Amino acid sequence: MEINGKTFLVTGGAQGMGRSFTHELAKLGANVLFCDLNQEKIAIVEAECTNFTGNVKGIVLNVAESDRVVDGEIEQGIDRSARNMEAFINTAVDLFGDVHGIINNAGIIRDGLLVKKDRNTGETRVLSNKKWKQVLDVNLTGVFLGARTYADWHIKNNKKEGVIISISSISRHGNQGQSNYSAAKAGLVAMTALWAGELGRYGIRTGAIAPGFTKTPILEGMPEEMLQKLVKPVPLRRVGEPEEVFKAIRFIIECDYFTGRCVDIDGGLRLP
């Protein structure tokens, strides 16, 4: 699939890696509708993309649980986030006339050990239901809703080609203190493989990308000493750049014989 002239949805597109994905797609001539929770950051990204070849528009939307889309209110209900994803796609169609793919990038971290014992008191603290649910809602259910809504729209409208790309993580192999995050990131890779078989007949390809330590505001805010310890086990001895992760997105979009696989962009790092 050519990127130039196509339209893509990007969730979490106003910050971190999502901001870079929005930029790079627009530089290549794609129209991008991205969503995020921070209206101020949305406006900044829109301004940054003004001179790019593609057109860029951002809206306020929570992929897991939100009633608000752009300036209107979505009807209250049990599955309101699903209706929000429909509004997300419909907004892209209204703005750009079509949708050719979705990059499920939005994600959060709420780390904690499954059970931690206090050395002094002997009391235990467990990973809370709230933290578990928050991460699964955004990082897994949000991906499910985005993929399902896009695929349903694609099939109903008899579109010929489409792509669903979801951002996983090296933590999908299991990372201590990240039961919720690891479960979600492993789950979306499994769904990616499953959807390849279900959706290929409709011209929809799927792909997942698993970045390692990547330069984002979170890492940039770490003390230098801590950052050096972080990258020491990475064979390339550095963190990745968001633009390097985007190269995998570009490959998946442009390679019409790619589907159902996960691409690791981790500098060769292997988690214990």
Please give the pLDDT value at position 83.
Answer: 67
pLDDT tier, 78 (very low <50, low <70, confident <90, very high otherwise): very low
Q: What percent of the chain has pLDDT over 90?
A: 75
The span from the first CA to the last CA of the chain, in angstroms, equals 37
Question: In the annotation, is 181 catalytic?
Answer: yes
Domains contained in the chain, CATH given: 7-265 (3.40.50.720)
- Please state the rounded mean pLDDT for residues 186-214: 97
Please give the pLDDT value at position 84.
Answer: 85
Q: How far apart are CA 53 and CA 105, in angstroms?
A: 22
- Please state the rounded mean pLDDT for residues 125-140: 93
Candidate list 150, 181, 202, 257, residue with the active-site label: 181
pLDDT tier, 76 (very low <50, low <70, confident <90, very high otherwise): very low
pLDDT tier, 65 (very low <50, low <70, confident <90, very high otherwise): low
Q: How far apart are CA 204 and CA 157, in angstroms?
A: 13
- Please state the rounded mean pLDDT for residues 53-68: 81
- Please state the rounded mean pLDDT for residues 217-221: 73
Range with the poorest average pLDDT among 48-52, 90-94, 107-111: 107-111
Q: State the pTM of this model.
A: 0.91
- Please state the rounded mean pLDDT for residues 37-43: 93
106 near 35, Cβ under 8 Å? yes
Beta pairing, strands 72-73 & 56-60: unpaired
- Please state the rounded mean pLDDT for residues 146-170: 96
Task: Tell me how far CA of residue 12 lies from CA of 7, 113, 167, 186, 251, in angstroms.
Answer: 16, 26, 11, 19, 21
Residue 71 pLDDT > 50 = no
Please give the pLDDT value at position 271.
Answer: 79
